[in-house]
């Protein structure tokens, strides 16, 4: 049986909401299409019911008939309605839809999507802090106002012209950028590699995800520093690995604990140049012990070269990979902290034996990255702009660190004790015993500060209370403004 909508009044009632609200959407045909689509999906226009003719609906809504005809054609193309020659348009009889709300929230009978066991494991891991550009004294933020934008735009323009007939795709990344990175690392970090060993990633996190998925089986153990970067926890968990937190001291990763008691570990993830967040450097003796362990056990070391470029008291130290670690060390670096956080480009330097397996996995993983930013960065490096910018930032950050230390000493009168480090983009300041750094940071975030609690970076080891204060991206005026916001909050806790 045909279901006819009554000819006059119900038509008006059905489309009154569109007359009041739908006409505000542009273009009009899209607004009318969405309106009718939702009425059909909610079963307000039931299957088999007749729609007004295009002329009738156009007159009712004060629209052109062509607009209504276009809407009906779209509805028919997507299967919502069917047109019967000489008899008008009908809601498709095949649509057996139960009446439901048109709201986007799930209804009472909607079953929730089931997540995997891996996703449930991630819920147990420390959540990462969200970064906001308006926050002051946020760690790991570069001096964005000092970035050579005109030079970068020139490189982007050069790269876009070169892409005109660029059809090659290499899962490892653009050859031009990989060549520049290999030359840079050989000259500045003592790394032994050629461009064939360099893989470009969309960020250090992606590199870690790939490395752990390639090197770990479920249940394999990974040695990590404690305190350390919490972002690595999710990558280890996702690969089914088990994290073994090893304490550090002023000489870095405690190899006396890690290597003597954890011989069954499959992998070590460390930051030998500068531990995050403490800034400690791994001693030469421990570096050699770690390399010897990797060779004897057939294990791999992932060297995250965090902030190695910003060593203020001399040139960067030789990377662990350069100390005869070419066959057992995966070296990881990133451009987001050197240049710009939005520049999601990082890289891995792989041991020769891992190049083919990683290349094969990368093809299945994402098929490689966009060529334009890679080619732009390659030109940026080839013209010497990258190295020049790096030298300027090293001097600038050293000046900003000195100013921060000076101001903290004057304002807080020794109640914040600096933990010495030879470089970086943030400072660690220890609080007096009994002061809860997390409570302080919760309050500072409310006033626009990006300071982080030191205790957040500890896992199994007894946490020290302190504040991780960024200075790299802030001039003297903004450092002063940030410390002025911190002062009353900290004084309140110190007096309590």
Range 9-91 has CATH code 2.40.110.10: no
Lowest mean pLDDT among 116-120, 186-190, 266-270: 116-120
pLDDT in tens, 16-39: 777 766 566 678 888 899 889 988
pLDDT band at 163; cut points 50, 70, 90: confident
Euclidean distance between CA atoms 477 and 475, whole angstroms: 6
pLDDT band at 116; cut points 50, 70, 90: confident
- Check: CB of residue 82 under 8 Å from CB of residue 52: no
pLDDT in tens, 40-92: 988 888 888 889 999 999 988 888 999 999 999 999 999 999 988 888 899 99
In this predicted structure, the answer to whether residue 217 has a pLDDT above a threshold of 90 is yes
Q: What is the pLDDT of residue 262?
A: 66
Two tokens at 165? Answer: 């007939």
- For the residues 217-228, what does the mean pLDDT come to? 96
In this predicted structure, the answer to whether residue 212 has a pLDDT above a threshold of 90 is yes
Lowest mean pLDDT among 130-139, 221-230, 300-309, 427-436: 130-139
Q: Which residues contact 70 (CB under 8 A, 6 or more apart)?
A: 29
In this predicted structure, the answer to whether residue 98 has a pLDDT above a threshold of 60 is no
Give the position of tokens 């490892």. 172
Euclidean distance between CA atoms 129 and 61, whole angstroms: 51
What are the strands of the beta sheet with 221-226, ordered from one edge?
198-201, 346-349, 329-334, 300-304, 267-270, 221-226, 242-249, 252-253
Average pLDDT, the chain: 90
pTM listed for this prediction: 0.85
Span 147-387: which CATH code?
A: 3.40.640.10
Lowest mean pLDDT among 171-185, 303-317, 458-472, 473-487: 303-317
- Check: CB of residue 432 under 8 Å from CB of residue 490: no
As a dihedral over the C-alpha atoms of residue 42, residue 46, residue 48, residue 50, rounded to 10 degrees, the angle is: -100
Instruction: Sketch the domain layout of the chain as residue ranges.
Output: 9-91, 147-387, 393-495
Q: What is the pLDDT of residue 434?
A: 92
Residue whose C-alpha is closest to residue 383's, from 148, 142, 170, 199: 148
Q: What is the pLDDT of residue 1?
A: 45
Q: Are strands 242-249 and 466-470 parallel, antiparallel or unpaired?
A: unpaired
Euclidean distance between CA atoms 484 and 228, whole angstroms: 29
Euclidean distance between CA atoms 303 and 306, whole angstroms: 9
Q: What is the pLDDT of residue 5?
A: 46
Range 393-495 has CATH code 3.90.1150.10: yes
- Check: CB of residue 443 under 8 Å from CB of residue 489: yes
Q: What is the pLDDT of residue 10?
A: 47
pLDDT band at 316; cut points 50, 70, 90: confident
Residue whose C-alpha is closest to residue 223's, from 266, 260, 256, 252: 266
Q: Which residues contact 225 (CB under 8 A, 6 or more apart)?
A: 245, 246, 248, 252, 253, 269, 270, 271, 275
Helix, coil or strand: residue 103:
coil
Q: What is the pLDDT of residue 113?
A: 84
- For the residues 431-453, what does the mean pLDDT come to? 96
Euclidean distance between CA atoms 351 and 207, whole angstroms: 14
Euclidean distance between CA atoms 400 and 459, whole angstroms: 30
> Higher-confidence residue: 301 or 343?
301
């Amino acid at each position: 049986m045909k279901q006819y909508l009554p000819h006059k009044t119900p038509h008006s009632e059905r489309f009154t909401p569109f007359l009041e609200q739908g006409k505000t959407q542009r273009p009009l045909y899209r607004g009318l299409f969405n309106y009718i689509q939702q009425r059909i999906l909610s079963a307000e226009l039931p299957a088999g019911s007749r729609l007004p003719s295009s002329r009738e609906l156009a007159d009712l809504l004060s629209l052109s008939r062509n607009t209504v005809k276009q809407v009906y054609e779209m509805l028919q193309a997507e299967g919502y309605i069917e047109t019967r020659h000489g008899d008008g348009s009908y809601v498709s009889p095949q649509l057996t839809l139960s009446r439901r709300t048109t709201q986007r929230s799930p209804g009472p009978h909607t079953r929730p999507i089931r997540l995997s066991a891996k996703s449930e494991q991630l819920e147990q891991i420390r959540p990462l802090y969200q970064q906001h550009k308006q926050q002051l004294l946020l760690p790991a933020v570069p001096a964005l106002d000092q970035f050579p934008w005109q030079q970068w735009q020139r490189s982007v323009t050069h790269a876009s012209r070169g892409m005109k007939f660029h059809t090659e795709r290499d899962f490892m990344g653009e050859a031009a950028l990989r060549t520049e990175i290999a030359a840079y690392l050989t000259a500045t970090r003592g790394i032994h590699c050629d461009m064939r060993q360099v893989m470009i990633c969309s960020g250090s996190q992606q590199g870690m995800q790939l490395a752990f998925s390639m090197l770990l089986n479920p249940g394999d153990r990974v040695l990590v520093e404690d305190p350390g970067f919490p972002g690595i926890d999710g990558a280890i968990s996702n690969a089914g690995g088990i994290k073994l937190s090893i304490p550090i001291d002023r000489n870095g990763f405690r190899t006396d604990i890690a290597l003597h008691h954890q011989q069954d570990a499959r992998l070590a993830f460390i930051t030998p140049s500068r531990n995050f967040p403490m800034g400690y450097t791994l001693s030469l003796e421990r570096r050699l012990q770690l390399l010897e362990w990797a060779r004897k056990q057939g294990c791999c070391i992932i060297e995250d070269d965090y902030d190695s470029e910003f060593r203020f008291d001399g040139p960067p130290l030789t990377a662990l990979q350069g100390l005869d670690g070419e066959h057992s060390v995966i070296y990881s670096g990133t451009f987001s902290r050197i240049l710009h956080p939005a520049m999601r480009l990082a890289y891995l330097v792989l041991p020769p034996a891992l190049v083919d397996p990683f290349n094969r996995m990368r093809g299945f993983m994402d098929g490689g990255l966009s060529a334009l930013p890679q080619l732009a960065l390659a030109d940026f490096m080839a013209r010497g702009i990258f190295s020049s910018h790096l030298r300027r930032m090293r001097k600038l950050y050293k000046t900003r660190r000195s100013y921060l230390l000076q101001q903290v000493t004057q304002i807080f009168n020794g109640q914040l004790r600096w933990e010495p480090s030879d470089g970086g983009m943030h400072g660690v300041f220890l609080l007096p015993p009994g002061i809860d750094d997390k409570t302080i940071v919760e309050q500072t975030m409310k006033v626009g500060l990006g300071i982080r609690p030191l205790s957040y970076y500890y896992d199994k080891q007894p946490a020290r209370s302190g504040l991780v204060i960024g200075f790299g991206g802030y001039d003297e005026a903004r450092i002063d403004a940030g410390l002025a916001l911190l002062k009353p909050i900290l004084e309140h806790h110190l007096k309590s």
